[in-house]
Structure 1
Amino acid sequence: MIERARGLSAQDRVARVQEIRLIALAALSGHAEDFEAWKYYAELKNLKPKRPGIPFLEARIATCVVGRIRPATAMRTMQKLRNLRARGGQRREFDKFEALIKDHIGEGGVTNHGFGKASFADRDHGALWGRIGSHIETLGKAGYQVFLNSGTLLGVVRDGRLIDHDDDIDLAVVLKSGSAVAAAGEWKALRSDLQGMGVFDAENVTNPAIYKLKPEDGCEIDLFPAWIEEGRVFVYPHTFGELAEDDVLPLATCGVSGRPIPAAAEKMLALNYGEDWRQPDPYFKFPWRSARQRFQTFLEAIQ
């Protein structure tokens, strides 16, 4: 299959992408039992042009959705498709394609974590805040300050509630160290401490820079490291010294959840999501590559 893709002419590669797109779209609209998603996904990977156009993007998205594979890739590609359609004055065409995707997936839609999973639109927020509070209090007893972070912070500040299409909770813990290397050492030690507290979800940790706390009612809880260095704030992966200590500490109390948030939450959200953070964007994709470069010292020290 891979060798076949490599041996095709440019014209035949375009034609093959179109063919896979039609097959995937047909599967979206009908029966998909025999759809070989991983095969088509691998073939598309080897057919990918330098500047992917609409047929390739739609083929990749449809393949991921029908096969229930690579949800984060599907979300990222949807963003690219939306932007490309918008530049061409074809937003209506994107809306039609998006509707087809949503109709196929059904309730729950697609998130970075999966397809058709229960989102916050389906949950009792009050009960969830109570359970999350127990994790925050457990860390507090160990001397750590914890605040609502990233998408969770965005929801309570912008929407006055958890974001409907989101499905996990983001927290940040303020480490006591004053440098990236020292913070890395403390972060590594915290893993054992969390295990001792009985709140660490070791089975689901895939990124050593982001810990998983015990889920609540099936809701994943991500814990991110933060530290203060010479009066400047660092929160992996979005804040790299742009905020002053008093922009975060002392922590304020969220009027929606009753949980801690940064003192200047809006400043942090602008760093995390850009100046247009007030405009909802279900296909927002964080620039992880540049973040990893900025936090290289910390990331290398936790290995």
Structure 2
Amino acid sequence: MSKELTLTPQQRRARIAEVGDLARNQLTSPKAGFSADDVQNELDLLAPEKSNKRSADALEAQILLMIAAGLKPRRAQKPLYHLFQACLANGDLKKFEALEAVLKKAEQGGASLEGLYFPRAFGSLDQAEIWAKVEDMIAKLEDVGGEAFLCCGTLLGVVRDKSLIAHDDDVDLAYVLKAGTAEHKWMKVYEFLRSHDLLQEQTGPNPCSYKLKSDTAYNIDLFPAWVSNGKVQVYPDVWGELAESDVFPLQRCPTTGLPIPKDAEAMLAVSYGEGLRVPDPGF
């Protein structure tokens, strides 16, 4: 019978912490004979959940093990992001910062972190600098031949809080597709972005959103928007509840100077309903 079935929850948590210590020690003081595969197999038994469902301790152990094993650092990006989200939800960002310090110290000792970036909540960043980078990205998107505007959580923040939401960690933009089938136009946008090196490496050609490439500690996510029969569609929340005249022509946000829907509150009411006015740190 496997360990995952014979250990109590308390024993499992304790062993996951021990696995994390093993990986940390190997990263900081490498020892001959260390079998990363064996440790990884044990961790998978102890924490069989998908990455976004694992505990913070299991995610930390996974990240340390991947770097200690010499895997490409970018492969640790997903569990690193999930750890950041877990620490945010637990109100324990010090845990994330402690891991960051361990990894950066290991980098100084010769470990590679190339391709790995550390996410940051907006509350800890210079928002003026963020808006300057977003403005630059919007200008690049306009080179495709269409408009882009703030949407989703980013729009919610600038309308409700007059700033980015402090615990959020990505910027949301909608790109307006022109006449023609939305799917065809979205593929054209992908081809342009890829040809101009504006997409993150792992972004494929068929997702419902694209992750834009930027030298930042946060993602810039791009979603498709289009008008069909006079009704506006903005993936993933708005499906014809708004008329074209509710959204266009786009207006300039008083806080950022960047494009937002003509009636931003109407779009937010569709997306968030009663949650529009009440901040939710867990969202």
TM-score, scaled to structure 2: 0.68
Determine whether 1:45 maps to 2:54: no
Structure 1 counterpart of 2:59, from 58, 64, 74 = 64
- Equivalenced residue count is 239
* Structure 2: distance between partners of 1:38 and 1:275: 45
* Structure 2: distance between partners of 1:244 and 1:34: 59
The correspondence of residues 102-113 of structure 1 with structure 2, limited to 5 A, is 102-106=93-97
- Residues 121 and 166, structure 2, Cα contact 8 Å, conserved in 1: yes
2:278 corresponds to: 279
Letter in 2 for 1:156: V
- Residues 191 and 200, structure 1, Cα contact 8 Å, conserved in 2: no
Letter in 2 for 1:164: A
* CA shift digits 1:196-225 (9 cap, x unpaired): 5x3622514156222233314444322111
2:166 corresponds to: 164
**TM-aligned CA distance change 1:277 to 1:19, over 3 Å:** farther
Q: Secondary structure at the match of 2:248?
A: coil
1:258 deviates by 0.4
Q: Secondary structure at the match of 2:163?
A: coil
1:103 deviates by 3.1
Letter in 1 for 2:46: E
1:231 deviates by 1.6
Letter in 1 for 2:96: I
The correspondence of residues 242-257 of structure 1 with structure 2, limited to 5 A, is 242-257=241-256
Q: Secondary structure at the match of 2:55?
A: helix
2:177 corresponds to: 175
The correspondence of residues 87-102 of structure 1 with structure 2, limited to 5 A, is 98-99=90-91, 101-102=92-93
* CA shift digits 1:77-108 (9 cap, x unpaired): 789xx8xxxxxxxxxxxxxxx35x43322389
Choose 157-166 or 251-260, whichever is displaced more: 157-166
Determine whether 1:200 maps to 2:198: yes
* Structure 1: distance between partners of 2:2 and 2:124: 45
Letter in 2 for 1:203: E
* Structure 2: distance between partners of 1:264 and 1:192: 31
Letter in 2 for 1:105: F
* Structure 1: distance between partners of 2:179 and 2:232: 12
**TM-aligned CA distance change 1:107 to 1:34, over 3 Å:** closer
**TM-aligned CA distance change 1:105 to 1:228, over 3 Å:** same
* CA shift digits 1:259-293 (9 cap, x unpaired): 01112222323333442133222332xxxxxxxxx
Letter in 2 for 1:205: T
- Residues 167 and 220, structure 1, Cα contact 8 Å, conserved in 2: yes
2:9 corresponds to: 17
- Identity among equivalent positions (%) equals 35
- Residues 37 and 64, structure 1, Cα contact 8 Å, conserved in 2: no
Q: Secondary structure at the match of 1:250?
A: coil
1:18 deviates by 2.8
The correspondence of residues 77-156 of structure 1 with structure 2, limited to 5 A, is 98-99=90-91, 101-106=92-97, 117-156=119-158
**TM-aligned CA distance change 1:34 to 1:167, over 3 Å:** same
* Structure 2: distance between partners of 1:225 and 1:262: 14
Letter in 2 for 1:184: E
- Residues 84 and 93, structure 2, Cα contact 8 Å, conserved in 1: no
- Residues 252 and 263, structure 1, Cα contact 8 Å, conserved in 2: yes
TM-score, scaled to structure 1: 0.64
1:289 corresponds to: none
- Residues 169 and 218, structure 2, Cα contact 8 Å, conserved in 1: yes
Q: Secondary structure at the match of 2:276?
A: coil
**TM-aligned CA distance change 1:267 to 1:27, over 3 Å:** farther
Letter in 2 for 1:40: L
**TM-aligned CA distance change 1:270 to 1:216, over 3 Å:** farther
